[in-house]
Structure 1
Amino acid sequence: MSAKSDNVSHQFDYRRSARAVLDIEKQAIEGLYQYLNEAFERACEMILHCSGKIVVTGMGKSGHIGSKIAATLASTGTPAFFLHPGEASHGDLGMISGSDLIIAISNSGESDEILALLPVLKRRGIRLICMTGNPASTMAKEADVHLCIRVEKEACPLGLAPTSSTTATLVMGDALAVALLEARGFTADDFALSHPGGSLGKRLLLRVGDLMHVGDQLPQVGIDATISEALLEVSRKGLGMTAIVNIDGQLAGLFTDGDLRRVLDQQVDIHFTPISRVMTTHCVTVRPEMMAAEAVKLMETRKINGLLVVDEDKRLKGAFNMHDLLKAGVI
């Protein structure tokens, strides 16, 4: 880098430039409110009642935005995929059936690659929603529904690079997707089924029964055990707690390593005193079918680090702590 260019880079106000971009794009988004009109409602109804798939298409930057819109629709209950208009003209139109619906995106509304597809789409009776910044464009006129995404100006000072226009298009796509999500009654469980991988899927799909410690890993002692025996069980199982159960396997109480401080303050003889005298009898419990994410919220609300799991008859089934939730990727 030359001394001159280095000097210029130190003098340039990057923050001012960035703030100007945010201001212009914010205005572009605010300008979309006027286009949430009857056309927007018709587009939602068309998509909602489409018996096939939603096919999103667009060239260049519009294509990149279209790909994201298709992905958002697909993950929120509206089957959709992106189709490159150039490839569509060379055989990929065969991927579209008569029951599908096209969302075509072009800021100018005059994309040659999309215009070349219109005669074929019209002949096959495939319905068309166009998103453009020009209501007088060819695409707008040929569409069954036109969604206007016009912006006053691009954030690019040269007025060349698509910036505000692509932001407005993406936001309009999000508005469609979320409006449809709510209209369908799409739930978190539905969302989880299309996102089984990664931490998101784990948070939404994993249940308490999937991560709790059971069998030999489950810390438990009988109700006649001494405090010292309970402490040994806490140490062996490493969950910072142990359950106390009666002869029928029903939960009678809980003892944690935190309770030990209270016991020592009372100068209780841990070798001879039964655990039943110092255990917590009204402890928080959960069922195996509870969502792990709900268990996290419960533990945070109650400020506890572990939970015991019981069935409908209060029989002990398992135990887990925050470390288990962290290890499973739930938090």
Structure 2
Amino acid sequence: MIEAVDLTKRYGSKTAVNHISFTVEPGTVTGFLGPNGAGKSTTMRLIMGLDKPTEGTVKVNGRTYRDLTAPLCQVGALLDAKGLHGSRTARAHLTQLAVSNGIPTRRVDEVLELTGLTHVAKKRVKGFSLGMGQRLGIAAALLGDPQVLIFDEPVNGLDPEGVKWVRETCRHLADQGRTVFISSHLMSEMAQTADHLLVIGRGRILTSGPVDEVIASATNDVVRVASPQAGELAEVLKAAEITTANPEPGVLTTTTAPASRIGEIAAAHSIVLHELATQHASLEDAYLELTGNEVEYSATPAAPAAVGAAH
């Protein structure tokens, strides 16, 4: 597992990671979410021993990364897909990693096949697209067949098939009992991939827990009801101490009662309903609610150009 205790990192006057503690368990995919500048990449660098904590500790399987005897065989990481020697081929890059870590070179062909790079194994890395570079980085992370995988934005640059492949690979690795720690800005992917979430903002853990619990803690489901008697329905719901909004003619919404209760009240007053549905909050809704005040830079949407404005 990965265990951080009171982990802190300061760069001069800036605190990138602020006294965070967490555990990433085996057999799960743990999603690491947060705005740009929240401290995700710094945390992953601290785990990998690339930065030294100002305070606190972070350990993998009970040891700091620098104390692992065969690190590539215990922890595989993709932190920067562009951190490659451009003049080397994909095969040469992986072979050098294998030889330097005492890994049988036959494993190189296995991970090339696994990541779909066999046909470009002899191509120089500088000619790789962003997506191909991501795949090579994942191949390097899998090279030592480690029990712990750390991926920072692994789907960046991948096409839909590649995104699906990363999702299925992460799930398969976790199902094998491995520890998978993955950051991403794609909320829809995290909702499908992760079992557990850590949400960070301005270097602090904002919340953690199973995906469904994180969504439920930060949002409310919305019941939407459409009726030709919407005004009458609003009055009887108010009498039952159920508050509603009227987002459009003939439509009411509420977060203060379940759909079943709304239906019962409507039936009791012979009110016709054309629609009654519960709109469940998404992970994106929860994420925006949790991190709305934690972004480094915020912007307002551009105002639409006036009709007939000069270009």
TM value normalised by structure 1: 0.29
> Which structure features the higher share of strand residues?
2
| Structure exhibiting the larger radius of gyration computed from Cα positions | 1
Relative CO higher for 1 or 2, CA cutoff 8 Å, sep ≥ 6?
A: 2
